[in-house]
Amino acid sequence: MKKILLIIFTLLSFYGFSQHYENFMSISMGGAVPFGDFASTDIDNTSAGYAQTSLFLSFDGAHLFLPYIGIGGTMTYANNTVDQISLRTDIIAKIKEQYPDFVIPEDTYISFDAGVWNHVNVMVGPQFTLPADRLNFDLRALGGLSFIFPPEMQIYLANEDEEFRKYFTYQTKVSFGYLFGAAIRYNTSNNMMIRLMADYTYAKTTYTVTDEYVGAGSPDLGEYEQPVGTWNIGIGIGYYF
């Protein structure tokens, strides 16, 4: 009889745990910190993204079908501005190096435009949770689609006798991406939480650089890969259901 009661108590305890903690959703925001080639400002690195730290917004959730194991998911939006001053200076220096016949006097007309990196990730994958009283420690490894909306970038130079234009054309905007993340959830009540999180996200796109030197023949084309990687570090609130 004692064994039966013990089994019933254990099942009821597990049922109570699963009712409170098997599902949650949260919203978080914070800083999207670029790393690696995406943050590089080395003009000789063809994968340099000149990206700067900006903001991200993340919608996250998980279903724990066992006390410590479940399926997690995320939908994240981030935008990263471009270091326009450094990029403009470096491109002009590179043009002087590659095209020494193109003279750039002080009164040269220069038009430069660079937008913003926007990227959206929709990913799912396994999530592991270690509960400790009112705290939950989460680890997750997700994969899915990364929608990359690159900035339009171009520079135009003109003097009395010559014209030069360089522009960047991005060819792919949807690619496979992945995420490794960790979080701490603090349960403020039976249904609410505060969530601290840090995610490593990575995806790639490709782009073409076109150099048009008026009067020097056909344009020069080059195709390159552009990694898009950020550390998303933020805080949010969530709800158990």
> Which tokens in the block code for residue 93?
């220096």
Q: Is 13 exposed, middle or buried (0-12, 13-18, 19+ CB in 10 A)?
A: exposed
Q: CATH number for the 2-240 domain, one of 2.70.170.10, 1.10.3720.10, 2.40.160.20, 3.30.390.50?
A: 2.40.160.20
Rounded-to-integer distance, Cα 51 and Cα 82, Å: 5
Average pLDDT over residues 169-176: 79
Q: Count Cβ atoms below 10 Å from residue 129 Cβ, excluding itself.
A: 21
CA distances for 241 relative to 11, 131, 236, angstroms: 20, 17, 17
Phi/psi at 215 (5° precision): 90, 0
Q: What pTM does this model have?
A: 0.82
pLDDT of residue 172: 64
The pLDDT confidence band at residue 67, using thresholds 50, 70 and 90, is confident
Higher pLDDT, 67 or 205: 205
Whether 66 shows a pLDDT value over 50: the answer reads yes
Picking from 110-119, 214-223, 228-237, which range would have the lowest pLDDT averaged per residue?
214-223
Whether 163 shows a pLDDT value over 50: the answer reads yes
Higher pLDDT, 19 or 222: 222
Average pLDDT over residues 204-223: 76
Tell me the pLDDT of the chain averaged across its residues: 85
Phi/psi at 83 (5° precision): -75, 85
Task: Give 72-121 pLDDT, tens digit per residue.
Answer: 999 999 999 999 999 989 988 888 888 887 777 777 888 888 889 999 99
pLDDT of residue 218: 62
Rounded-to-integer distance, Cα 94 and Cα 134, Å: 56
